Structure 1
Amino acid sequence: MSVQKPLDGLEQAVDAGERRASAVSCARALGLEGIAVSLRWGAELVWFSDETSARLEDAQFTLGQGPGLEADFSEVPYQVADVGRNERWAQFAAEAQAMGVRAVFVWPIRTGAARLGALTGYRSKPGPLTALQAAEGLRVADMLTSWLLAWRSGAVTSPNEQGKAGAVDLHWAEVHQATGVLSARLGVSLEDALVRLRARAFASGQPLTQTAREVLVREPPS
């Protein structure tokens, strides 16, 4: 199966369900069980195929470590062919294995020398990608870069309205809202507030998004 058809579907997608379907199809075409795209070094999840791929991104963002955040891309893609043998990100590796993830692959979302984010895929069995899968993944990453660069914030509609083709789903908006709430409440910088929110999520063992929702329930943003 070629990646071209699901990518064409992404360009025409008008709601989150259709965008999710295109991600599922792309993952299958690449021989992966799931894929996700995060921007700004994991600070915003904008596209994912399944809950495990979203949880992997959440784990990287919460822990502040993982291949999607730190890969130098001297080789593309960056391949962690066996998560259990990787000692660079011990906490992330433990989280990934607990989810049943054994291999992780990362392609850069970039334009020229400017890196915008990362496309991350996973499998439940260890082993590297084939040369064709590696090349097709880069093709997906390049096309996603064009899609993201063409996106305008005005394209996003409210949850009760029909979306527009090319819109981006901002899955971690609550995290950013909760960071602002903690910053104001504690009188600390946004960076420090985010560190505290991550620490709280890690200590509780729950997703960062759930921790953010609890903060917002206790003290909604004004």
Structure 2
Amino acid sequence: MKKTQNVTIKGTKDGIVLHLNDQCSYQALKAELEQKLLAQSVDEEENSPILAVKIQLGNRYLTPAQEEEIKSLVRARRNLVVDKIISNVITKEAAAREKVENEIVPVTTIVRSGQVLKAEGDLLLVGNVNPGGTVIANGNIFIMGNLRGIAHAGYSGRRDAVVVASNMVPSQIRIADCLNRAPDDYGKEDRHEMECAYIDESDHIIIDKLQVLKTLRPNMTRLKGGFSYG
């Protein structure tokens, strides 16, 4: 009878993938991983190139201490570095955080000068952002009204976030760590056409017609029925 392998090592163009069996005990898994890594290190040359390692856990959950043990076994080989550990299982805390970050927060109000409106997920504002007012969201910002103040989308680092407004005349737009200040003619004209702001391939914030999002961010929103691009 063929023995089940608890550890499978596969080479890819991007490095190495370790597939770890999620049905065996952790101790059996750890022992086999150590043995296989040790066997491979026999053929390791002194000037071997550094290889990134992705560790696939499947439906196994590792405690932080166990994760560190697995990482240490991999790092024991001088040409291997752990790129990421991927698991289908997440903690209740992580699931709750992900739920909050993926929620759409609908608000009907006017954000006046000196006021700050903040959302952990996507923000859907039915109202205006006046000069001096600020709206902040970890996800996307949709404003069904005038944006004349400051909008900061993707504040925790989400560079795929966007800002959409019915009338886009902001004093400042920020997406993740990118900043776009208002043009010299800021506030002199109403555009009367829904526009969007996003980070382009050159790491600049671009303001364009809403229709471009159909190509750039086809799965951008979780609004029921989808978001109309016109």
Q: TM-score range by the shorter chain?
A: under 0.3
User: Is the helix fraction higher in 1 or 2?
Assistant: 1
User: Is the strand fraction higher in 1 or 2?
Assistant: 2
Whichever of the two has the greater Rg, that structure is: 2
TM score, norm. by length of structure 2: 0.21
